[in-house]
A and B are shown apart, each in its own frame.
Chain A
Amino acid sequence: MDLILIQTLNGLASASSLFLVASGLSIIFGVTRVVNFAHGSFYMLGAYIAWSLVSRFGSASALGFWGGVLLAALLVGLVGLLIEIALLRRIYQAPELFQLLATFGVVLMVQDVALASWGPQDLLGPRAPGLRSFVSIFGNRFPTYELFLIVLGPIVLGALWLLFNKTRWGTLVRAATLDREMVGALGVNQRLLFTSVFFLGSCLAGLGGALQLPREAVNLHMDLSIIAEAFVVVVVGGLGSVTGAYLAAVLIGVMHAFGILIFPKITLVLVFLIMAVVLIVRPHGLMGRKPSLVQQGATMREPLLSPATREIKLLGAAALAVLAIAPLLLGNYGVSLLTELVILTLFAASLHFMMGPGGLASFGHAAYFGLGAYGAALAAKWLAAPMAAGLLFAPFLAGLAGVVFGWFCVRLSGVYLAMLTLAFAQIAWSVAFQWVELTGGDNGILGVWPAPWAAGKTTYYYLALVLCTALVLALRVAIFSPFGYALRAGRDSPVRAEAIGLNVTRINWLAFIIAAIAAGIAGGLYAYFKGSVFPTYMAISKSVDALLMVLLGGVQTVSGPIVGAFAFAWLQDWLVRGIAEYWRLVLGSAIVVLVLAFPQGLVGTALRWRGRSQDDDVPAEAVR
């Protein structure tokens, strides 16, 4: 009995910490629709800055500690403000999710800035004055600071409620959460509103980080370890609903505290399991509302998509010719790198197939890439299957997962869909991670080497080139096929699509499966190329890589993912090898610069330039 009470309190304390971060994210997303990857970085900065300030002010005095914490939150708010003004404000008009790319650049930069400023060693913050000790509850010692956090969560929730419901600013924010265009139409200064919202959200992230000082080590992994969970809380709560975020945080915190009593290893995946269940039962989260039909109809206007012109086809053929003769010009490593780029291109193109024409953004596409890799590796390890069989089993396993996961996912839309794909990807990842007998766990499966005839680096390159080119072209053909048109129809206007007889859900489902199969083939090729398979192939970072490639190239174009994959993977390889130190800072800056210079993605923006110079009427909107 007392254990139940104590574990509930433990859960509530974690919930408060999580809520502080998630509330800021929820507010930012609700109003600006920016999927802010950098929110975790703000949280980490809050902790580091608070550590420095409190160390300087002296942690013994209440003023020194709490003053440091609050000042850190404000400073982080200012950092957020700066990023909004200098970066995000310029790209609000970009295609959906494009801002994610920009904020990812910020994440990379902050990681290296933190390393350079605070060093690599974990920092232990001071305990809070007056809250250093514990109280006794049924003979169990419970830290007073945790009690303080339990109380703080609802207080912050209440303060936010007052802010949103009792002030004019809050009313505008709520209105903007429901309908951005309307607020703009009311003559409200939208820029100021967005900037102030970003400031508040960043402050909350900073506060969340600063308040961890007495509780957790400050380290360089804080950013990425919190961001996924914060998103889960926001989505489980319902986008833009702060109260929902609190409920979700409590649900997750308490389930966690009890989950480890029953099944200790569940911590790996519990939050994602909860999210999957909640989203399947309630497709718009605990407190989220279904967007009205009117809003659905008035989403972003997608630009015209036309088949490649003669010129572009020639360009493509020339590029292919270069790739075909490349092994004659490049050394062994050049060929290896190209092999990797070609495989990643197929991976990116497969994501683009559902995300571009289908409007089905996935945060968990690596699941199918990874399952493809595991399909090949498991076939090789357990069935001693030859490479050809492994390469067939790869898309089979990935496609099977696409059939099952896709069935649930396509019933949702927007960020909810994206997060459900993430949940499934994490579940698949945890299975690969945990089922040690079958998959070797995190030590992976080794010895997945190609058949002798394909073992040569150049031979394998040509094998990958032929397969990937054929599949990328096939995806392209499909985009311009009746099915591809139907897919786009469902994205452009679901209501209209249904009204002309299209079964949008089923069309999206098939697109999901096709994307999964294509990713699976990429994964299979990758497995034989690397010779080993690890759970990291399905990790969030791989999914993010695919997203970045598609967004960088331009999601509204067909060639975008190809250019994006080459640009991103090559840039990363080049920087890691060339700079060694602080390559993340340089890569992050490069992404930010590219985002500002190419707000429609590389291909999207290039085509726009070309269109403008040629003809002012149609091609300005035409994106190939």
Chain B
Amino acid sequence: MTLDRRNFLAGSAAATAAAVAAPAVLRAQGGAIRIGEINSYTAQPAFLIPYRNGWTLALEQINAKGGVLGRKIETIHRDDGGKPEDSVRHAGELVNAEKVDLLAGGFLSNVGLAISDFANQNKRLYVASEPLTDALVWARGNRYTFRLRPSTYMQVAMLVEEAAKLQTKTWACVAPNYEYGQSCVKWFKELLTKAKPDVSFVAEQFPALGKIDAGATVQALEAAKPQGIFNVTFAGDLINFVRQGNTRGLFEGREVVSVLTGEPEYLDPLGAEAPKGWIVTGYPHSDIKTPEHTAFYDAYKAKFNDYPRLGSVVGFDTMNSIAAALAKAGTTDNEKLIAAMRGLKFTSAFGPVEYRAIDHQSTLGAYVGRLDVKDGKGVMTGWSYRDGAKYLPSDDVVRTLRPATA
């Protein structure tokens, strides 16, 4: 059994029932603190069902302790189906009809940006959980938006550190053809060239997201005879790419550096075919024994009878960071909340994290290690936690990246 869907459904049914039960006006005053959470549930269920479980776990833990500021917290979830225009409609509904105190969520980068722009326009705090695009806190950053997950830049920077240690001189890149894939490749080339000026990039493949023609793509990379490969594909594309690459021997004798591949969401479906030796960012869930993580891990397992995915961590940490901000601000007033969020320190499942005042990016990190196969399953070995704070550009650079008004 992969996921306990019954629990998931029961949880959401309860949330829905709660949302329907009392008139909005009554709830707004003195009742529960309301969070509007928007995500692409039907479009990205593999990541987001565990995410919501993690969220629910944190929510219940907080409320079991009496909530924050003496009030319970309540979440109203909305499904944007992967369409930014729908996320904006939900944001409007959550703020105007449901009278939520703040907004959270987002998986796809463009959905995150759409909500972020809405938040800026409507002066409402938005805690983006997952969207990876650098633009969210830099080029298009604004006063009202904070982001939890390590961004594209940070994840790539962690991998470049490892890639620079290798003897590999010629690289080929493969990435899904959209902003995330393109900026991963852009950063990888830029940062690696800076670290090792003698590297060269001999091939690039940009298959359409979700539609990789894996055989032809593998062959095209093979033809360039690179010494190393930088992979950004994930989910179904990754599986197809790995299977064709394994059969055709693309990875033999080559170093592969790969973003997100160590996350259980993407690693577990590969089973015994998980590509050994790849250097990846990810989440070695059963091996992390820090007190924060063990507490989270055990509670999650007890509640859902399943191990957490990375999405679970993101959901759990997002909710907890919001609670911490509320506690610090002592109010739901959004301007005061923002002041509290800037520089907010809280404890994540991965340890202490801070929302940087300078660009509203959290310092949550990721685990970097090599893939191996154990008992027919892909695992990360030789991993270590990379604190996000160390993989961000200097403050001077960040200031040039972010609008002065934000």
A binds B: yes
A residues near B (Cβ < 8 Å) are 3, 6-7, 10-11, 13-14, 111, 115-116, 119-124, 133-134, 140-143, 146, 215-217, 219-221, 225, 256-257, 260-261, 264-265, 267-268, 331-334, 336-337, 340, 433-434, 436, 441-444, 446-447, 449, 457, 526, 530-532, 534, 536-537, 541, 573, 576-581, 583-584
B2:A121 contact, CB within 8 angstroms: yes
B239:A267 contact, CB within 8 angstroms: no
Partner of B236, one of A119, A217, A267: A217
| Other A-B pairs beyond A336-B96, A436-B179, 13, CB < 8 Å | A3-B219, A120-B3, A121-B46, A143-B248, A215-B214, A332-B97, A340-B89, A433-B178, A443-B113, A443-B133, A444-B114, A446-B116, A581-B13
B46:A120 contact, CB within 8 angstroms: yes
Q: Is B270 an interface residue (CB 8 A)?
A: yes
Q: How far is the CA of A268 from the CA of B207 in the complex (A)?
A: 7
Partner of B222, one of A140, A219, A457: A140
B215:A146 contact, CB within 8 angstroms: yes
**Interchain nearest-CB distance for B241 vs A (Å):** 10
Chain A: which residue is nearest B180 at the CB level?
Answer: A442
Q: Is B269 an interface residue (CB 8 A)?
A: yes
B residues near A (Cβ < 8 Å) are 2-3, 5, 9, 12-13, 15-16, 20, 41-42, 45-46, 48-49, 77-79, 81-86, 88-90, 92-93, 96-97, 109-110, 113-114, 116-118, 121, 133, 135, 140, 177-179, 182, 204-208, 210-211, 213-217, 219-220, 222-223, 235-236, 239-240, 243-244, 247-249, 265, 268-271, 273
Contacts of B89 in A (CB 8 A): 336-337, 340, 530, 573
A217:B79 contact, CB within 8 angstroms: no
B83:A541 contact, CB within 8 angstroms: yes
Contacts of A526 in B (CB 8 A): 85
B205:A260 contact, CB within 8 angstroms: yes
Q: How far is the CA of A264 from the CA of B201 in the complex (A)?
A: 15
A577:B78 contact, CB within 8 angstroms: yes
A10:B85 contact, CB within 8 angstroms: no
12 sample A-B contacts, Cβ–Cβ < 8 Å, listed by A number: A10-B216, A120-B48, A134-B247, A217-B269, A260-B207, A264-B177, A264-B205, A333-B92, A337-B89, A532-B114, A578-B20, A583-B42
Chain B: which residue is nearest A3 at the CB level?
Answer: B223
B269:A124 contact, CB within 8 angstroms: yes
Q: Would A143 and B244 be within 8 Å (CB), given that A120-B46, A443-B135 are in contact?
A: yes
B220:A261 contact, CB within 8 angstroms: yes
B216:A265 contact, CB within 8 angstroms: no
Q: How far is the CA of A340 from the CA of B249 in the complex (A)?
A: 52
Q: Would A256 and B248 be within 8 Å (CB), given that A119-B5, A536-B83 are in contact?
A: no
Contacts of A256 in B (CB 8 A): 213, 216
B220:A143 contact, CB within 8 angstroms: no
**Interchain nearest-CB distance for B310 vs A (Å):** 13
Contacts of B182 in A (CB 8 A): 436, 441
Contacts of A577 in B (CB 8 A): 78, 90, 93
Q: Would A124 and B239 be within 8 Å (CB), given that A260-B207, A260-B217 are in contact?
A: yes
A260:B216 contact, CB within 8 angstroms: yes
Contacts of A140 in B (CB 8 A): 219, 222, 248
Partner of B219, one of A10, A116, A442: A10
Q: Would A267 and B178 be within 8 Å (CB), given that A141-B249, A537-B85, A581-B9 are in contact?
A: no
Contacts of A436 in B (CB 8 A): 179, 182
Chain A: which residue is nearest B264 at the CB level?
Answer: A121
Partner of A122, one of B88, B113, B116, B235: B235
Q: Would A265 and B177 be within 8 Å (CB), given that A124-B273, A332-B97, A580-B77 are in contact?
A: yes
Q: How far is the CA of A123 from the CA of B273 in the complex (A)?
A: 12
Closest 3 CB pairs of A and B: A120-B45, A332-B96, A333-B97
Q: How far is the CA of A142 from the CA of B178 in the complex (A)?
A: 29
**Interchain nearest-CB distance for B264 vs A (Å):** 9
Q: How far is the CA of A3 from the CA of B224 in the complex (A)?
A: 11
A336:B247 contact, CB within 8 angstroms: no
Contacts of A531 in B (CB 8 A): 88, 114, 117-118, 121
A219:B211 contact, CB within 8 angstroms: no
Chain B: which residue is nearest A441 at the CB level?
Answer: B179
Chain B: which residue is nearest A212 at the CB level?
Answer: B240
Q: How far is the CA of A121 from the CA of B238 in the complex (A)?
A: 13
Chain A: which residue is nearest B97 at the CB level?
Answer: A333
Contacts of B48 in A (CB 8 A): 120
Q: Would A337 and B42 be within 8 Å (CB), given that A219-B236, A265-B177 are in contact?
A: no
Contacts of B46 in A (CB 8 A): 120-122, 219
Chain B: which residue is nearest A537 at the CB level?
Answer: B85
**Interchain nearest-CB distance for B369 vs A (Å):** 22
Q: How far is the CA of A215 from the CA of B248 in the complex (A)?
A: 13
**Interchain nearest-CB distance for A439 vs B (Å):** 11
A10:B213 contact, CB within 8 angstroms: yes
Q: How far is the CA of A124 from the CA of B377 in the complex (A)?
A: 12
Contacts of A220 in B (CB 8 A): 45
Chain A: which residue is nearest B205 at the CB level?
Answer: A264
Contacts of A573 in B (CB 8 A): 89
